[in-house]
Structure 1
Amino acid sequence: MIKIIPHSGVEWEVRIIEDKFRLKSKVYFNNQSLQLLKQITGSRAFIVSDSIMDKLGYLQKSIDYLSEAGISSVVFSEVKPDPDVKVVANGMKMYQESGADVLIALGGGSAIDTAKGILYFAWKLECEAGREVKRPLFIAIPSTSGTGSEVTDFSVITSEEGKVCIVDEFISPDIAILDSTCIQHVPQRVVADTGIDVLVHAIEAYVSTKATDFTDALAEKAIKLIFENLETIYKDVKDSDARDRVQNASCMAGMAFTNANLGINHSLAHALGGTFHIPHGRSNAILLNGVMEYNAELRGSASGYAAERYAKLAAVLQLPARTSREGAANFIQAVARLKKVLGIEDNIRSLGVDQAAFEGALEQMAEAAMADRCTPTNPRQPSKEDLICIYQKCY
């Protein structure tokens, strides 16, 4: 709240309204939209790419398109899963030396997170040195349908202390290019992991305490598209129509959660994945049902905010939802069925995590999840003991 005293001497109160919906990125979609790179304006591009995009020829294709636009390219290809501060530091050094005015992230969530980390820390260093910051045109081209990172202000970087969530509007891409031909070679297990990650993004945005009508619309549509199309591309990733739909769902879910934030599913997954090196999507998937049962209080009244929201999602999928309990239970069961079709394990133990090691890490993981940036907007505020119980239930 700001107090203003005008010339009359009467004190006014002006309340700042925080509710807003922001979408910074321009989104270009459908097959062959990668050719948009021919129309980019700039002099030099710094491309952050993973090795897969190089092997499949998409990196060279991007370089060629940029060349047609009169833009030279410098490539940083040291991207690895769960990018750490060392990788980001190496990339930042190359980026600063390149003098690039265009930054391109080409690849999966790790490539986009790496590019965001490079941009963020380069910006911070320039600010600390008192130099003027010239932000490059930032373009994100995802090669998986999962993170939605091409339109978000989130980045997850691994440090010695675990996974660190960077959230800042500065790192939101200016342009997102959704060319589903870039995901037609994705392995079946990655389709499952990234697809469920989309679902978790949309569900958590929908039940977030910061949810709005705008984020709800995107989350509902993303969830519907996932239930209608994910199984199809899991069985046949060459199905271009279903591929387009899942990629669109990923982007929509990203728009939803960058405005509404997430919840403890991601907080718990960040800590679990960072501790036992489990892929992010798989961590999210295994924890999802346990988190929803906790949020909906199915063993209690099942009459709270989260249960009502899950019941609304059941109605979106045309599942019985005459009461909050019935709707929430049916939605949670529908998620469980989808996970089973996608071959996702039932519990953490099935991933080969040793029980003694798991129990020894419980306290630390729960503490990390409590401190995570995603926890405050969870529909039910947990204690550390609650989070430990969810972990144990999912083990």
Structure 2
Amino acid sequence: MQKVSFKTDLYIGQGATDRLLEFKEKQIFIVTDPFMVSSGMINAITEKIDKSNTYTIFSDIIPDPPIENVVAGIEVLNECDANLMIAIGGGSAIDAAKAMKFFGQKLGTVRAMPFIVIPTTSGTGSEVTSFSVITNKEKAIKYPLITDAILPDEAILDADLVKSVPPAITADTGMDVLTHALEAYVSTKANDYSDAMAEKVIQLVFTYLERAYKDGNDLEAREKMHNASCLAGMAFNITSLGLNHGIAHTAGAKFKIPHGRMNTLLLPHVISYNAGLTSDFGNNPDNRAAERYTAIAKLLKMPASNTRLGVRSLINAIKQLQKKLNMPTTLSECGVSRTDLNEHIAQIAEGALNDGCTATNPRTPTETDVSAILEKMLA
């Protein structure tokens, strides 16, 4: 038996931020990042807040937020005695806000309150998921926090807020969306509901990501990618993810590679591994994962007369998209040396096997398997 539920109300389309005008006489705690404040983009949100409300902005968010960042936010949250919480920004701001609310309530210092998320990148899908990733900076390890208690009550998706996202970040986050959808599709917990969303996401990414990358003001492409990000989040919130994210959480922290980029580097290699496509990984392209990847290739109208060809076609399409987005395709291109890999490979393999996302991967990996994937990624 599986439970499928969608707790988060979505406000979408042009003028979606007008939803904020409906709140009156609230004490609002806003979590965002420094760029939103320094660039003045935060004004697009605060101008929608009715004057009967008061608000406090916490913007000391850093990428891959560490637990110390969360603790600092909880202290400010306690001081302002908020009864409405809004997270605005990319994955780091949203993940930090989720953790602040969760741990603050666990400590008994933060009251229960509505939680609204307004994403300003199209990538994490965090506005509709029960996932948050917090970093232990000392150990350089990312820890997923997974609980329905951090699901936002509302999400506001306004494409105007992502028009200024730089091309490189558009590429990183957009490929993260694709990774979410593909991992959800081959997850051991996949079902008809998650499949429907994942299939739509994959079609949207291959249709609109390059457009959004080339022209940030292409509002149609921006809106479609924003919707794709959210749909992918809904899909993997049902199914969880897989080995791709299991490796990325630890490897990204060790090598200081942005999360979406790390996932993209891994994606062709993890697909090959899951499908048993090469002699290194069993040479058995007739398993369930291979069939699922082939179904995606057929959906995208790629050559897929058998599973081997279908998986190859999907991998080649991903590589072509990476090239169109001017993305690195090896660890070396990201500044990782052979010495760096040798130093961290054992810890990354161990972290990947212990990561909660790996549990729903369609193939059960070993440390040797993970190490082989990382080796293939270096050159």
Query: Partner of 2:22 in structure 1?
Result: 39
Query: Partner of 2:318 in structure 1?
Result: 335
Structure 1 residues 115-147: Cα deviation after superposition (integer angstroms, max 9, x where no partner): 011011112212xxxx8x742110000000000
The alpha-carbon deviation at position 65 of structure 1 amounts to 1.7
Does 2:212 match 1:233?
A: yes
Q: Gaps spanning 5+ residues in structure 2: where?
A: none
The alpha-carbon deviation at position 28 of structure 1 amounts to 1.0
The alpha-carbon deviation at position 42 of structure 1 amounts to 5.4
Query: Partner of 2:90 in structure 1?
Result: 108
Query: Partner of 2:368 in structure 1?
Result: 385
Tell me, yes or no, if the aligned pair for 2:24 and 2:50 is still in contact at 8 Å.
Answer: no
Identity over aligned pairs, percent: 43
Does 2:221 match 1:242?
A: yes
Alpha-carbon separation, structure 1, partners of 2:160 and 2:341: 39
The alpha-carbon deviation at position 58 of structure 1 amounts to 3.2
What's the TM-score, normalizing by structure 2? 0.96
Query: Partner of 2:309 in structure 1?
Result: 326
Which structure 2 residues correspond to residues 362-373 of structure 1 after superposition, within 5 A? 362-373=345-356
Query: Partner of 1:140 in structure 2?
Result: 117
Alpha-carbon separation, structure 2, partners of 1:140 and 1:48: 9
Alpha-carbon separation, structure 1, partners of 2:48 and 2:181: 33
2:276 to 297, 301, 305: 297
Give 1 or 2 for the bigger CA radius of gyration.
1
The alpha-carbon deviation at position 276 of structure 1 amounts to 1.4
Deviates more, 1:258-267 or 1:33-42: 33-42
Tell me, yes or no, if the aligned pair for 1:271 and 1:365 is still in contact at 8 Å.
Answer: yes
1:149 to 111, 119, 126: 126
Q: Secondary structure at the match of 1:46?
A: strand
Tell me, yes or no, if the aligned pair for 1:149 and 1:254 is still in contact at 8 Å.
Answer: yes
What's the TM-score, normalizing by structure 1? 0.92
Tell me, yes or no, if the aligned pair for 2:23 and 2:50 is still in contact at 8 Å.
Answer: no
Tell me, yes or no, if the aligned pair for 1:225 and 1:245 is still in contact at 8 Å.
Answer: yes
Does 2:336 match 1:353?
A: yes
Does 2:196 match 1:213?
A: no
Which structure 2 residues correspond to residues 247-258 of structure 1 after superposition, within 5 A? 247-258=226-237
Aligned residue pairs, count: 372
Tell me, yes or no, if the aligned pair for 1:42 and 1:101 is still in contact at 8 Å.
Answer: no
Which structure 2 residues correspond to residues 58-97 of structure 1 after superposition, within 5 A? 58-68=41-51, 70-97=52-79
Alpha-carbon separation, structure 2, partners of 1:95 and 1:30: 30
Alignment root-mean-square deviation, CA: 1.2
Alpha-carbon separation, structure 1, partners of 2:16 and 2:265: 34
Q: Gaps spanning 5+ residues in structure 1: where?
A: 1-16
Query: Partner of 1:9 in structure 2?
Result: none
The alpha-carbon deviation at position 303 of structure 1 amounts to 0.2
Alpha-carbon separation, structure 1, partners of 2:272 and 2:263: 14
Alpha-carbon separation, structure 1, partners of 2:336 and 2:317: 26
Does 2:26 match 1:26?
A: no
The alpha-carbon deviation at position 301 of structure 1 amounts to 2.0
Q: Secondary structure at the match of 1:211?
A: coil
Aligned amino acid, residue 193 of structure 1 = D
Structure 1 residues 37-78: Cα deviation after superposition (integer angstroms, max 9, x where no partner): 00135511100011222234332232232234x221011000
Alpha-carbon separation, structure 2, partners of 1:267 and 1:381: 12
Tell me, yes or no, if the aligned pair for 2:16 and 2:157 is still in contact at 8 Å.
Answer: yes
